Amino acid sequence: MRSPGSRRPLTWLLALALLALTGCASGEKLSRKERGDRAFGRGDWPQAIDEYRLYLDAGGGGAETMEAQYQLARAYYENEDFPTAAVEFEIFQRNYPRSDSLEAAAYYEAHCWVRQSLPFDRDQTPTEQAIRKLEAFLLDYPDSPYREPARRSILALSEKLAHKALATARLYQRLRRPEAARLYYEKLLREHPTSALVPEALFELLEIQVDEEDWEAARRTFERLRGEYPGSDSARRAQDLLPELR
């Protein structure tokens, strides 16, 4: 017969096994949403995305589902998957139009497009979409705490489009296609009137008008350049170009 002492190792092993099983069971009590929250809190964006996605795919509703949708969009944003984040923020706004997070979701959706904007010599479709989204945001939330960042983004993006227009105009100039160049100079002046590039565009447009002997248009361009940018290098060069119009 075994003594009571000989059964102690087996008893301890059973106790440790039971403790381990209890710990696993307590871990399983965490919902996918809670696991997503924990991953989000520690900055593990891929894990947060997986958990929120599984939670939302399982269905359900209520405040937790609404929060999970918003956090899923945020996790995609923080993971720098901006195209997917924009879609998820759009879904959130469509499905939860009365949420307290609606304003933030609208701003983040617009900013997803800002983050997709490429250098001016690349395709500017995301830049144009970002401006549209930001302008719509400012119309919907004119008193938003995000309004100043939104306005600054619009100005920066607009300047990028102005650079694109100027570069395209100059390209057509080099290709000896002045009519096409003229269209892009006029596009810059019409769509980006506050750009820092306006004086250069006016001067280069003036050069085309002089070459084409379009004196009436040249006089208007010269007067605008001299009146609005009198101290600019472009205005001084214009005076040398058209002394008879001074």
Q: Is pLDDT above 60 for 16?
A: no
pLDDT digits (tens, 9 = 90+) for 167-226: 999 999 999 999 999 999 999 999 999 999 999 999 999 999 999 999 999 999 999 999
Per-residue b/e over 142-160, b at no fewer than 16 CB within 10 Å?
Answer: eebebeeebeebbeebbbb
Q: Angle formed by the axes of helices 198-211 and 178-191, to 10°?
A: 150
Residue ranges per structural domain of the chain: 41-112
Q: Is pLDDT above 90 for 56?
A: yes
How many Å apart are CA 162 and CA 169, to the nearest integer?
Answer: 11
What was the pLDDT predicted at 61? 77
Which pair of tokens denotes residue 126? 């995301």
Nearest to 33 by CA among 10, 58, 9, 12: 58
> pTM for the complete prediction?
0.82
The CATH superfamily assigned to 41-112 is Tetratricopeptide repeat domain (1.25.40.10)
Cα separation values, 95 from 52, 69, 88, 241, Å = 16, 9, 10, 61
pLDDT digits (tens, 9 = 90+) for 68-92: 999 999 999 999 999 999 999 999 9
SS3 sequence of 100-168: CCHHHHHHHHHHHHHHHCCCCCCCCHHHHHHHHHHHHHHHHCCCCCCHHHHHHHHHHHHHHHHHHHHHH
Q: Is pLDDT above 50 for 27?
A: no
Q: What is the pLDDT averaged over residues 4-12?
A: 44
